[in-house]
Amino acid sequence: MADFCCGTGLYSAASFFLGAKQVFSFDVDPAALASCKASMEELEDETCKIAVEQVDLTDASAMAKYKGMFDTVVMNPPFGTKGDEGIDMKLLRTAVDVWPEIPTICSAAAATCTRCIRV
């Protein structure tokens, strides 16, 4: 399972508690990654491996190395508050382009949820 824009790691932790065997938490913000890593270190055990990685999720070539590793992507992208309008759709596009076989892509972005049917 992959958590795009993991922030503090809320979705990553939820995935752990719901039984994920492997969780990849991705973000571009170093402060968010530090917070997520601290949270995940308390959770990781022999039943679930958790990786926290800094990567530009809009860069499909950077994400290509993860092809085939996830069956689920969850994301809670920024909502255009920092000059990044439309970032939710860019992240969804990366998920679809890099992993077209993923059966489940969930986004907390209302705009994405209403448009993902057309992606």
Please enumerate in sequence order all residues whose Cβ is within 8 A of that of 23, keeping only pairs 6 or more positions apart, or say none.
1, 2, 3, 12, 15, 16, 40, 48, 49, 50, 51
Q: Domains along the chain?
A: 2-118 (3.40.50.150)
Position 54: which residue type? Answer: Q
pLDDT tens-digit readout, 53-75: 999 888 878 888 888 788 788 88
Predicted model pTM: 0.77
- What separation in angstroms does the CA of 101 have from each of 41, 72, 74, 95? 30, 10, 15, 10
Helix (H, G, I), strand (E, B) or coil at 48: strand
Kindly state the tokens that stand for 90. 């860019």
> How far out from the chain centre does Cα 36 lie?
12
DSSP code of 102? -
pLDDT tens-digit readout, 24-52: 999 989 999 999 998 888 776 766 788 89
Position 117: which residue type? Answer: I
| CA-closest candidate to residue 2, choices 55, 79, 78 | 55
Banded pLDDT at 93 (limits 50, 70, 90): confident
